[in-house]
């Protein structure tokens, strides 16, 4: 096809989907309408209504395989990519990543159950969290799921459980390596000032404490330095820091066999974004660990990484229907859609930017105009785009927002009692539902009116 719109005229990167704005299978049909996975977006909205989450299976699988291929290429030791399910947790996503040989990280019993229901093997699941409940920890232990210890509170409860069971528990510990990245401050999780993990300065004391725990066996380390990162140098530094920590742990009798370097690789949301490829990211991490191990005469540990956004974000789009317009002469024109902050809270939370186009005739460059795309919620800040250039459009037209596969569905809410959208997977010109659309009646399911109020009415 002959594309003219900026982000539609780029060559698709099949090897590293995170460097694309659009899903791999994006095309424009003969009728001039946008299609993904061989499915017309207009037809999908007619069938499933809007707003609608759409995931492209080929993009998802290519992303998974890019990580697997790069690890096999650059890391001669054993490795395991682990999907960060917080990005988009569902039975479908758990099933897909399991079929690609991935493990999964979870931070709640709900995410653990979802993973197990989706077919992820227990031994490939890791359980994170800075404030795990007793119930969640007990569930993970019962399911033989590896727990990543985040703080002393975790450690104390795991010691009690292991002693009560008279059974050894293998654990990993999370620490903050103190690496700064140029990202949003709310998602800097590897600096010294973080709610996550043990401070690196406290590790020797921690190693001594664990060495005196009868049934707790420290076998792994975890560190994560942030999200949506475009720099490679911090990840190179991370490998060396973690190997140095392994050397310190050895002094206290701990044999660290697993190294989990977290995730954080960014994706291309807009034309201004230029993330490294998956291959480059894995190469950087792998060579850093290999070099540090060689220097210190250590056997290579099992290398784990936790991609989330870079697996699922580019594979996902959200389609909205345009409703009202409001023009303020000399200032701006508001264009309102039938969704907003309840299905995508990232713009109002992180001031995140996206790319978008009309579903019908997206290549039309005539009569283009700048719009402020507003959501339908009762919040002045419910704005998806402060300034989006589109061809002339009208009520009833559809807008496709790209890069919404991560942290949209998983962070969605029922603010203003608005039901969550449906989600579908598309592949080979077929679409299948993976999440049913909520109805207003579904939102009343867990409301309870106390008896005394019933009697008064």
Query: Could you give the angle at which helices 203-211 and 233-250 cross, rounded to 10 degrees?
Result: 40
Round to whole Å and give the CA distance between 56 and 60.
6
Residue-by-residue DSSP string for 274-314: -PPPHHHHHHHHHHHHHHHHHHTT-PPPEEEE---HHHHTT
Helix, strand, coil percent values for the chain (each to nearest 5): 35, 25, 40
Instruction: Decide if 378 is catalytic.
Output: yes
Give 335's strand partners.
325, 373
Q: One of 39, 64, 357, 378 is an active-site residue; which one?
A: 378
Residues whose CB is less than 8 angstroms from the CB of residue 302 and which lie 6 or more positions away in sequence, other chains included: 77, 78, 79, 80, 220, 257, 258, 259
Tell me, what DSSP letter sits at residue 186?
G
Write the CA distances from 71 to 7, 145, 266, 281, integer angstroms.
Answer: 30, 24, 18, 10
Around Cβ 204, how many Cβ atoms within 10 Å?
Answer: 14
Residues marked active site are found at 378
């Amino acid at each position: 096809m002959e594309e003219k719109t900026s982000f539609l005229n780029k060559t698709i990167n099949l090897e590293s989907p995170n460097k694309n704005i659009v899903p791999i299978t994006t095309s424009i049909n003969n009728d001039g309408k946008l299609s993904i996975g061989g499915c017309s977006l207009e037809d999908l909205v007619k069938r499933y209504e809007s707003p609608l989450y759409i995931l492209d299976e080929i993009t998802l699988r290519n992303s998974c395989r890019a990580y697997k291929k790069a690890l096999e290429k650059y890391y001669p030791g054993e490795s395991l990519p682990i999907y960060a399910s917080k990005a988009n947790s569902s039975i479908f996503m758990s099933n897909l990543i399991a079929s690609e040989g991935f493990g999964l990280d979870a931070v709640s019993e709900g995410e653990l159950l979802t993973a197990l229901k989706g077919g992820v093997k227990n031994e490939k699941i890791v359980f994170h969290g800075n404030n795990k409940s007793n119930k969640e920890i007990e569930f993970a232990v019962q399911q033989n799921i590896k727990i990543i210890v985040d703080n002393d509170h975790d450690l104390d409860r795991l010691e009690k459980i292991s002693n009560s069971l008279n059974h050894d528990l293998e654990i990993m510990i999370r620490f903050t390596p103190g690496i700064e990245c140029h990202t949003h401050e709310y998602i800097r999780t590897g600096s010294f000032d973080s709610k996550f993990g043990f401070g690196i300065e406290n590790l020797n004391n921690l190693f001594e404490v664990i060495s005196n725990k009868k049934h707790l066996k420290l076998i792994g380390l975890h560190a994560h330095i942030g999200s949506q990162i475009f720099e490679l140098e911090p990840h190179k530094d991370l490998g060396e820091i973690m190997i140095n920590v392994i050397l310190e742990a050895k002094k206290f009798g701990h044999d660290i066999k697993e190294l989990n370097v977290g995730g954080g690789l960014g994706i291309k949301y807009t034309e201004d974004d230029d993330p490294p490829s998956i291959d480059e990211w894995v190469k950087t991490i792998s060579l850093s660990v290999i070099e540090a191990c060689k220097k210190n005469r250590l056997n290579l540990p099992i290398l784990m990484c936790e991609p989330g956004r870079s697996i699922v974000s580019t594979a996902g789009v959200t389609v909205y229907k345009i409703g009202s317009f409001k023009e303020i002469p000399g200032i701006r024109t508001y264009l309102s859609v039938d969704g907003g902050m309840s299905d995508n809270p990232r713009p109002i939370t992180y001031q995140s930017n996206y790319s978008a186009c009309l579903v019908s005739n997206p290549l039309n460059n005539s009569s283009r105009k700048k719009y402020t795309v507003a959501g339908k919620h009762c919040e002045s800040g419910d704005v998806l785009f402060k300034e989006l250039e589109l061809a002339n459009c009208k009520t009833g037209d559809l807008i496709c927002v790209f890069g919404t596969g991560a942290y949209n569905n998983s962070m969605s809410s029922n603010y203003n009692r608005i039901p969550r959208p449906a989600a579908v997977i598309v592949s080979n010109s077929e679409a299948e539902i993976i999440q049913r659309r909520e109805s207003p009646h579904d939102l009343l399911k867990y409301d309870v009116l106390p008896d005394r109020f019933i009697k008064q009415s």
